[in-house]
A = this chain, B = another copy of it.
Amino acid sequence: MTVQRADARRNYARILAVAEEEVAAHGADASLENIARTAGVGSATVRRHFPSRQTLLEAVFSERIDALVARATASAGAPDARAALLEWLGALTAYASSARGLAEALTLAGTDDPDHAPACCSAKLAGAADPLLQRAAQAGAVAPGVTAADLVTLVTGIVLATEHHQDPAAEANRLLDLTLRGVVPQG
């Protein structure tokens, strides 16, 4: 392929816009067919631009993910490494539990193509969290053996498990706090 044709780019954008609304409304298992209908294209066109549901979800969330990544790099040099990490994890949790479908998308990551992994959401987040984690670890604030991927996984799990709560964001935040401080401290 040389470069995408103009109409293809137009359709891509339109589908993505509709998909954002639809995923926000119905979560990760929004109907692809419905998205196609609303966008005024055939269902095959959706599948061409986004071969799998996972691909579409990643595209939908990628901007916000990038924002979180940027935020992480911005606070990489903050004076209090521990606080910076905590704050970022809080932001991640808040966003993930407000954006229906993100958490499911994160767990699905790496389940299909093994090599497409580095480009996917969770890898990007883990990559962004890593510097924060390293600095906090150097400050002696982090338990041994914790990886950035662990942090993302834990947050994902909390969000998934609180999804059906009333006020999921608050519950998720509370459980995050618990997890960070330790449920049964002084091991």
Contacts and interface: CB of A to CB of B under 8 A. Distances in A.
Interface in A162-187: 162-164, 171, 174-175, 178-187
Copies of this chain in its oligomeric complex:
2
Nearest to A156: B161
A143 B184 contact: yes
A49 B123 CA distance: 44
Identify whether the interface residues of A are mostly helix, strand, loop, or mixed. helix
Contact of A136 (B108, B111, B157, B184): B184
Nearest to A106: B161
Interface residues of A, number: 41
Contact of A163 (B107, B178, B184, B185): B107
A175 to B, nearest CB: 6
Among all A-B residue pairs, the 5 with the closest Cβ atoms: A182-B182, A157-B157, A157-B161, A181-B187, A156-B161
